[in-house]
Amino acid sequence: MYKNFKISIFGIFILLSFGTLGFYYLEKYSIIESFYMTVITISTVGYGVIKPLSEWGMMFVSILIILGIGFFGYVATNTISFFVSGELKNLFKERIMNRSLSQMKNHLIVCGFGNVGREACKNLLHEKVEFVVVETDFDRVQSALKEKYLAILGDATDEKVLEKANISSAKGLLTSMSDTSINVYVTLTAREMNKSLNIITRGTGERSEKILYRAGADKVISPAQIGARRMVMTVCHNASLELITSLVRDKNLNVRFVEAIIKDRTPIVGKTLQESKIRSITGGIMVIGVKPIDGELILNPAGDQIISKDDKLILLGTLAQIENFTNFVNVVPKEINFMNKDEK
């Protein structure tokens, strides 16, 4: 519809130019007089001619009137449709969205808005992480927009589409399509455009994982494998699983999983876990993991593990212990969310 509207505007310019040049050459009018005659002719106002027309001039006026009536009918139809159909509103929305995308930094790009992509977006929204959805299906894009998400209709393997998603300023990209080949192409394209991008992609098995890692993925996650492991855990280790589930989901319990990024002015920087006396000072909080800024997550760290600036500590403790930890290191821990938004 917007294309037809632009064609109509361009057509008006062509018609006015055609009429002006016709009067100028056929009747020897000035440019101003020719433009004036063109306007009153195609608008059928009927103010009269500036001076008597020749026979060729009369023929030209007749043709111009016929063209004007037909063309302005077309223009009027397109103009009314443009405003009534909401096309103008959509155009403004698109421009606002493009402006928002150009200003985004350290955001995530979610490629695919199927079941997995939709759940990822729900959790990102809960975590208050900025993101934009890239999807090829029009209906899914409309569904994302209804959820108030930023969404782009396009193919994530296309560099222009990823540029529109401001990939150069993004911190990460999630590919959630069920087709491994598409995830591979997206990973290759994204890695070429942003070498430092953290790419998390969906896999379907061991073979696909190897291919995706070779393509440049930082992490490959298989929803099927995760689901299967959960089912086996439920059957074989039900008591353990129930304990973990209770800790994670039951808000009535006085225990929380939290994470804290250690700043340089805290009293534990440069000390080992044993020297820091975190457990005794906080009343029993447990450090169950340490994630250095440039290293892998260390689970159940030893007492001689040195705490450095920007390390992320994974903690398990009661609300009182967490409050004591906050007062001790002057860092407010963030609760770790293991659930989907709908499970709360």
Angle at 180 between CA 176 and CA 182, to 5 degrees: 75
281 pLDDT higher than 90: yes
> What pLDDT does 249 receive?
55
What pLDDT, on the 0 to 100 scale, is given for residue 81?
Answer: 63
Q: Which pair of tokens denotes residue 69? A: 């009536």
- Prediction pTM value: 0.53
Instruction: Find the range with the poorest average confidence among 49-53, 150-154, 291-295.
Output: 49-53
Average pLDDT, rounded, for the chain: 82
Instruction: Look at residue 272 and tell me whether its pLDDT is greater than 90.
Output: yes
Work out the number of other CB atoms within 10 angstroms of the CB of residue 282: 23
Q: How many CA atoms lie within 13 A of 122 on its CB side?
A: 15
Q: For 34-57, what is the mean pLDDT?
A: 78
Q: What value does the mean pLDDT take over residues 159-172?
A: 92
In this structure, which topology does domain 254-335 adopt according to CATH? Answer: Alpha-Beta Plaits (3.30.70)
Asked whether the beta carbons of 199 and 205 are under 8 A apart, the reply is no
Confidence of residue 35 (pLDDT cuts 50, 70, 90): confident
Distance CA 341, CA 344 (A): 6
> What is the β-pairing status of strands 150-153 and 108-111?
unpaired
Residue 167 token pair = 């990939």
The 3-class SS string of the chain reads CHHHHHHHHHHHHHHHHHHHHHHHHHCCCCHHHHHHHHHHHHCCCCCCCCCCCCHHHHHHHHHHHHHHHHHHHHHHHHHHHHHHCCHHHHHHHHHHHHHHHHHCCCCEEEECCCHHHHHHHHHHHHCCCCEEEEECCHHHHHHHHHCCCEEEECCCCCHHHHHHCCHHHCCEEEECCCCHHHHHHHHHHHHHHCCCCEEEEECCCHHHHHHHHHHCCCEEECHHHHHHHHHHHHHHCHHHHHHHHHHHHCCCCCEEEEEEECCCCCCCCCCEHHHHCHHHHHCCCEEEEEECCCCCCEECCCCCCECCCCCEEEEEEEHHHHHHHHHHHCCCCEECCCCCHHHC
What per-residue confidence (pLDDT) applies to 3? 62
Q: What proportion of the chain, given as a percentage, has pLDDT over 90? A: 38
The mean per-residue pLDDT over the stretch 118-123 comes to 90
* 180 CB-contact burial (10 Å; exposed 0-12 / middle 13-18 / buried 19+): buried
Give the pLDDT of residue 88: 47
Categorize the per-residue pLDDT at 291 as very low, low, confident or very high, splitting at 50, 70 and 90: very high
CA dihedral for 114, 120, 124, 126, sign (positive or negative)? positive
Q: What is the pLDDT of residue 12?
A: 78
Considering the chain, what percentage of its residues have pLDDT values greater than 70?
80
Q: Of the ranges 41-45, 115-119, 249-253, which is most confident?
A: 115-119
What per-residue confidence (pLDDT) applies to 159?
Answer: 94
**Segment 3-20, tens digit of pLDDT:** 665 677 777 788 888 888
Assigned CATH for 1-85: 1.10.287.70
Q: What is the pLDDT of residue 173?
A: 95
Q: How far apart are CA 136 and CA 32, in angstroms?
A: 51
* Mean pLDDT of the region 243-267: 73
pLDDT of residue 340: 46
- Tell me what pLDDT residue 296 has: 87
In the predicted model, what is the mean pLDDT of residues 28-50?
79
pLDDT for res 268: 93
The structural domains of the chain, with segments of one domain joined by +, span 1-85, 89-226, 254-335
Q: How confident is the model at residue 50 (pLDDT cuts 50, 70, 90)?
A: confident
**Fold topology of 89-226:** Rossmann fold (3.40.50)
Lowest-pLDDT range of 164-173, 208-217, 242-251, 308-317 = 242-251
CA-CA-CA-CA torsion sign (210, 212, 214, 218): negative
